[in-house]
A and B are shown apart, each in its own frame.
Chain A
Amino acid sequence: MKSQGKGEPDPIDLIRRFNKEHIGYLLIGSMALSMHDAPFGSADWDFWVSSEDRVEVYDIIERFGLQGKHKKTENRPLDTFTDGEFFKVDVFFVKAFSNKKKGITIDFSGAYVRAVIKKDPVGDFFVRVPILEDLVTMLKIVETPRSQHLKHIEYLEALLHKKKKNKL
């Protein structure tokens, strides 16, 4: 896929740079769900990145032309980067997402191992995406989900059920 407009950041190019620099990342959130046939639109790009790759990711994003309020010396769990317009990237550097009240935890290393690689059949582009089950777990971890959020979980569980049934 070619860049779509001179001067505009292309998220595909950003992922390509993560791949080139061997960043341990996962594309999560609505974009990842869309790739699992869950039609939840969002303009956000959410990445879950190995905390070991924090500095490299800051450098890549800086070279990419996005800006954020991050500091290399701070171990912030989430940093947001933007081009000042509508392109926004949220990067989570946590080792695990958890909700103690609900007793749910998902750690990066496990999600990374379970993840699938989706590749361009005619090019070299690829992206790492958690399995659908892990994306659903991430949604369930949210402490106070909105009604829309709950509908998403209900839809995804039905989708998971359908996929499992089709495999049988």
Chain B
Amino acid sequence: MDIGALPTRKQSVRQNIDAFASLSPSQKIRVLEKQRKILAYLKSLKEVKSQK
């Protein structure tokens, strides 16, 4: 598949921006805080092995 031919990808980003914009200030804070915690957790993971 040619990823450049995926119009839905662009739409996906647009929908994401629209969804965030529609949130109330308190919801935005909650979403961002949750996102921050998840990212911090993912970054705390350790590389255990490569599948090579």
User: CB within 8 Å of B: which residues of A?
Assistant: 1, 4-5, 8, 10-12, 31, 34-35, 37, 41-44, 77-78, 80, 85-86, 88, 90, 94-101, 112-121, 125-127, 131, 138, 141-144
Contacts and interface: CB of A to CB of B under 8 A. Distances in A.
B19 A141 contact: no
Given A116-B47, A119-B46, A86 B2 contact: no
B42 A118 contact: yes
B29 to A, nearest CB: 12
A144 B34 contact: no
B20 to A, nearest CB: 6
A97 B12 contact: no
Nearest to B6: A78
A78 B4 contact: no
A91 to B, nearest CB: 11
Interface residues of B, number: 35
Interface of B: 1-6, 8-9, 12-13, 15-16, 19-20, 23, 27, 30-31, 34-35, 37-39, 41-52
Contacts of A5: 30, 34
B34 to A, nearest CB: 5
Contacts of B19: 85-86, 88
11 contacts: A4-B38, A12-B41, A43-B20, A86-B20, A88-B15, A90-B12, A98-B2, A99-B2, A116-B49, A118-B46, A138-B3
Nearest to A113: B51
Contact of A143 (B1, B2, B50): B2
A127 B16 contact: no
A146 to B, nearest CB: 10
Contacts of A141: 3-4
A13 to B, nearest CB: 11
